[in-house]
Amino acid sequence: MTKAPDMTSHTEPSTKRRHVGSHWGFYSHDDAQDAVRPFAGDPDPVDFGTKLPADRLAQCRILRPTVRKSYLEHGPGYAGGRRGSEAFVEVSWDEALDLVAGEIRRVRDDHGNGAIFSGSYGWSSAGRFHHAQSQLKRFFNMNGGSVRSVQTYSYAAGEVILPHVIGSLDGLVSGQTPWSQIVGHAELIVMFGGTPLRNARVNAGGVVRHETRQGLVACRDAGAEFVNISPVRDDAGEELGSEWMALRPGTDTAVLLALAHTLITAKHHDETFLERYTVGYETLRDYLFGRNDGVTKDAPWAASISGIEAARILELADRIATRKTLIMMAWALQRADHGEQCYWAAIAVASLLGGIGLPGQGFGFGYASVAGIGQPPSPVRWPSLPQGDNPISDFIPVARIADMLLSPGTDYEHNGKTRTYPDIKLVYWAGGNPFHHHQDLNRLVEAWQKPETIIVHEHWWNAHARHADIVLPASTFLERDDVVASGRDSFFGYSTHLAAAPTGVLSDHEILRLISARLGTESAFTEERTEAQWLEHLYDAARSDAASHHIAMPAFVEFQQSGLIEVANRRPDQPFMADFRTDPDAHPLRTPSGRIELASACIAGFGYTDCPGHPAWLEPKEWLGADLAATHPLHLLSCQPHDKLHSQWDHAAPSRKTKSGGRQPVRMHPENAQARGLSDGDLVRIFNHRGACLAIVSITDAVMPGVVQLATGAWYDPSEPTTPGSLELNGNPNVLTPDHGTSNLTQGPSPNSCLVEISRYIGKAPDVRAYRPPDLVPDPRLQEQTGGARP
């Protein structure tokens, strides 16, 4: 096939080169030099990907199927605290797979498929075929179905409220105004939560060109000014020269409401826009002017809540009214109590300004939350493993996992419906780590004892594996071939294995195939394809989708050889909501009114006191203005880690490098450190009524007084696994964060509403043990077969 004009091949001249696609970039491997280096065409490559192969066979690698000791001895049942604190016995694959298949059959027969939970939330690895969660869901769909989860930990509150307000997830997940329509147009960019570039390093499914820095710098060079509204100064890159407005975490809604109030008072609001494109303005205005509650949401009111002086709020209101302004807001803001409100309030302010749908104006969420926001999206539907249909319709909002396990049969509210938690007997997880992602881990440990059986596929002996009954060792992305692609750029990559998986370690697909064979569903699961044939099949599906848009992609073999292809995007760039702006009758929003809903009759009709029918300031349970702040005066923000993706490869060199004395740094303001007699490098205990962890003080005035920052990602390592709430040794912030829904509407996670206190840790702290395997009882039969050697 001749190279089509709309397709570029990115082969680099070399001897023999293999490529690796990952969530944090595309890398090439030089066999001659045995080194991995970033793709040459990436303007802002992420080097932590180059350091991972060295730690592929670390001591914490899981090399054999294992079963928790008393589970092997006594069979399934309530674990009564033993999950997470027991030794494991190594067993043969046959034994492990028979056990798994038998258990799935037992639970199905005794309780039905509605007693199986396979939500299995998590990022797993980037490849489209080996995506563990997709494999698992396909497997269960072929075997009678299972209970799932909906929404994400990333933006659950946004995901549920935005369809009510603007009719879709555009502007949150994709469809944001592209950089080409911002640069040279926006005069002022107001960034709530900044645009921390560490987060724009990764993207689910992969990223080839990291362009966020370029986009921001180009705006600056074209004359845009930046305001960073955040508790953390370096949420904005120094190169942007932005003004920092430090505010108390969780108070953005108050500031936005005051901006709205000020715009209306100064008659700076765009009445024509409001009239033509929105509904509910009067309801919002009445609220802003305190017609029902007697509280005027003006600048002094917001100042007393947020800590930003009233004069600065007034001045900002004037600036946004007189300059072409784009409002950016990080995803982090809605991972907090009432996280819906700041999103709704941001849309309200953008509506009052009237620039929505025009270049360089309006609003957009998550510009630096992942890579690829603001880049032209893939013109071709990216390939994914077909999952089939789930015969079980039951689901939970993803972050309600502990509630579900602790309170089966209990009713809860979700988006206007009363739902009931199912009674789950069997939990199956592959490619996610709830002991990373969930809040209030001490509560999760308790909830995790309830199911009769927990099965996990993992690479490492992290807390997730340690809390399972049956642990099956899965190969890493460095040990498999895969097709890598994401909806946020226009590349397709062929990822080649760098090494074979250690003997005894299988791919998630292979594990599930072998279980299917035992359940009599193998050919439904595999469709009689080998893994290699699946890759070609998935690629060909994308290729024919491309063909239907008159875009030519090369044949699979050619793609495999070149390693990376780029499909040109022929769609013209346009601002978010441009069509709606041009003609709202021809392009109505998918809201009940077809317009932007500044007040929603639908939400009001649900009658939720924690989410009224218009954007509103509702006090978070924990914030610096709460009563609890008298004893726990520090607000903990648990941001994403710059040196890794979530908990992935926490044991590897890039993550180890960030730690100090093997522990996580907690950033705090000099004032707060001094008041506690703390110096840089001191070992401290961070604590509240939910738990406590250790960390190392890192003093900086980049965080405002009263705020401390501890990145997520350190593997949960309780000092006394059998004692609930014991000191966590490794600096995992989720022993401190609260586990309740953002609101009855969305039931999202709210880790960012969290108060703590910090004090010096006196004495010698126990060593971190997270990266050592648990006690493993070798199976003598296996020792004979393999000589017991680690590969």
Ligand X SMILES: Nc1nc2c(c(=O)[nH]1)N[C@H]1C(S)=C(S)[C@@H](COP(=O)(O)OP(=O)(O)OC[C@H]3O[C@@H](n4cnc5c(=O)[nH]c(N)nc54)[C@H](O)[C@@H]3O)O[C@H]1N2
Active site residues: 121, 123
Residue 52 CB, nearest distance to ligand X (Å)?
Answer: 11
Alpha carbons 347 and 258: distance in angstroms, whole number: 14
Report the nearest approach of ligand X to the CB of residue 266 (Å).
Answer: 24
Q: Does 639 bind ligand X (CB under 6 A)?
A: yes
Nearer of residues 433 and 490 to ligand X, judged by Cβ: 433
Site for ligand X in 397-456 (CB under 6 A): 430-433, 436-437
CB of 520 to ligand X, least distance (A): 24
Quick one: which of 91, 183, 208, 333 contacts ligand X (CB under 6 A)?
Answer: 333
Shortest distance, CB of residue 773 to ligand X, whole angstroms?
A: 14
Kind and range of the H or E run holding 782: helix 780-786
DSSP string, 344-408: HHHHHHHHHHT-TTSTT-EEEE-TTTSTTTTSPPPSSPPP-------S---EEEGGGHHHHHHST
- Interaction of residue 462 with ligand X, rule CB under 6 A: yes
User: How far is CA 518 from each of CA 104, 143, 513, rounded to the nearest angstrom?
Assistant: 11, 11, 9
642 binds, among Mo ion, ligand X, none (CB under 5 to 8 A by kind): ligand X
199 binding Mo ion? (CB under 5 A): no
Q: Which of 125, 146, 149, 154 binds Mo ion (CB under 5 A)?
A: 154
Shortest distance in whole angstroms from residue 195 CB to ligand X: 9
Compute the distance between CA of residue 757 and CA of residue 769 in angstroms, rounded to an integer: 25
Q: Does 249 bind ligand X (CB under 6 A)?
A: yes
Based on the shown chain and the rule CB under 6 A, indicate whether residue 645 belongs to the binding site for ligand X.
yes
| Pick 153 or 273: Cβ nearer ligand X | 153
Distance CA 513, CA 265 (A): 65
Provide DSSP, 206-266. --S---HHHHHHHHHHTT-EEEEESSBGGGS-GGG-PEEE---TT-HHHHHHHHHHHHHHT
Which of ligand X, Mo ion, none sits in contact with 458, Cβ below 5 to 8 A by type? ligand X
CA 75, 77, 81, 85 dihedral sign is: positive
Task: Identify what 559 binds: ligand X, Mo ion, none; CB under 5 to 8 Å per kind.
Answer: none
What gap in Å lies between CA 509 and CA 139, rounded to an integer? Answer: 9
Residue with tokens 């989860």: 149
Among the residue ranges 231-239, 380-388, 495-503, 755-763, the one whose residues contact ligand X (CB under 6 A): 231-239
| Whole-number Å distance between alpha carbons of 733 and 543 | 44
Tell me whether residue 326 or residue 711 sits nearer to Mo ion (CB atom): 711
Tell me which residues in 75-104 interact with ligand X (CB under 6 A).
none
193 is an interface residue for ligand X by CB under 6 A = yes
How many chain residues interact with ligand X (CB under 6 A)? 63
466 counts as binding ligand X under rule CB under 6 A: no
- By the rule CB under 6 A, 66 interacts with ligand X: no
Which residue among 61, 130, 285, 297 contacts ligand X (CB under 6 A)? 130
Asked whether 604 and 532 are in contact (CB, 8 A), the reply is no
DSSP string, 302-331: HHHHH-S-HHHHHHHHHHHHHS-EEEEE-G
Which residues have CB under 8 Å from 245's CB, separation 6+?
A: 227, 228, 229, 230, 308, 312, 316
DSSP letters, 609-643, are: TTS-SS------SSSTTSGGGGT--EEEE----TT
Instruction: Indicate which single residue of 737, 743, 747, 750 sits in contact with ligand X (rule: CB under 6 A).
Output: 737
Q: Does 313 bind ligand X (CB under 6 A)?
A: no
Of 646, 651, 663, 667, which lies in the binding site for ligand X, with binding defined by CB under 6 A? 646
- Which residue ranges make up the site for Mo ion (CB under 5 A)? 154
Interaction site with ligand X (CB under 6 A): 121-125, 130, 132, 153-154, 192-194, 196, 198-199, 201-202, 229-232, 235, 249-250, 252, 330-333, 335-336, 369-370, 430-433, 436-437, 457-460, 462, 464, 474, 508, 637-642, 645-648, 712, 733-734, 737, 751-752
